[in-house]
Amino acid sequence: MQKFSCKEHIGYALDMFVAEQKDFPIMDELPTDVDELCEYCEEKAAYIVSSK
Protein backbone atom coordinates (compact mmCIF):
# COMPACT_ATOMS: atom_id res chain seq x y z
CA MET A 1 0.00 0.00 0.00
CA GLN A 2 1.16 3.51 -0.73
CA LYS A 3 -0.33 6.97 -0.40
CA PHE A 4 0.86 10.21 -1.94
CA SER A 5 0.51 13.39 0.09
CA CYS A 6 1.25 17.09 -0.09
CA LYS A 7 2.94 18.88 2.82
CA GLU A 8 -0.41 20.04 4.21
CA HIS A 9 -1.97 16.56 4.40
CA ILE A 10 1.01 14.42 5.47
CA GLY A 11 -0.23 14.11 9.07
CA TYR A 12 -3.60 12.90 7.85
CA ALA A 13 -1.99 10.46 5.40
CA LEU A 14 0.14 8.96 8.19
CA ASP A 15 -2.89 8.65 10.49
CA MET A 16 -4.98 6.99 7.78
CA PHE A 17 -2.20 4.55 6.92
CA VAL A 18 -1.86 3.43 10.54
CA ALA A 19 -5.65 3.13 10.93
CA GLU A 20 -6.03 1.06 7.76
CA GLN A 21 -2.89 -1.10 7.95
CA LYS A 22 -2.43 -1.40 11.73
CA ASP A 23 1.31 -0.93 11.16
CA PHE A 24 3.81 1.92 11.10
CA PRO A 25 4.51 3.39 7.65
CA ILE A 26 7.65 4.54 5.94
CA MET A 27 7.54 8.18 4.85
CA ASP A 28 9.84 9.39 2.08
CA GLU A 29 10.12 12.75 0.39
CA LEU A 30 9.42 12.56 -3.33
CA PRO A 31 11.94 13.88 -5.85
CA THR A 32 10.81 17.13 -7.46
CA ASP A 33 10.55 15.49 -10.90
CA VAL A 34 7.80 13.05 -9.76
CA ASP A 35 4.37 14.22 -10.90
CA GLU A 36 2.03 12.50 -8.43
CA LEU A 37 -0.92 14.34 -6.88
CA CYS A 38 -1.94 14.36 -3.24
CA GLU A 39 -4.72 11.84 -2.56
CA TYR A 40 -6.57 14.38 -0.38
CA CYS A 41 -6.46 17.46 -2.61
CA GLU A 42 -5.21 18.36 -6.08
CA GLU A 43 -1.82 19.73 -5.02
CA LYS A 44 1.45 18.16 -6.12
CA ALA A 45 2.50 15.38 -3.75
CA ALA A 46 5.64 15.98 -1.68
CA TYR A 47 5.70 12.65 0.20
CA ILE A 48 4.99 8.97 -0.28
CA VAL A 49 3.75 6.91 2.66
CA SER A 50 4.18 3.17 2.17
CA SER A 51 4.53 -0.15 3.93
CA LYS A 52 7.88 -1.70 4.75
| 11-25 pLDDT tens trace | 999 999 999 999 999
**CB proximity list for 28: less than 8 A, separation 6 or greater:** 47, 48, 50
pTM value surpassing 0.85 = yes
pLDDT surpasses 90 at 9: yes
pLDDT of residue 52: 75
| Domain range for 24 | 2-50
Give me the mean pLDDT over the 15-40 stretch.
96
Domain count, the chain: 1
- CB-facing half-sphere around the CA of 40: CA atoms within 13 A: 18
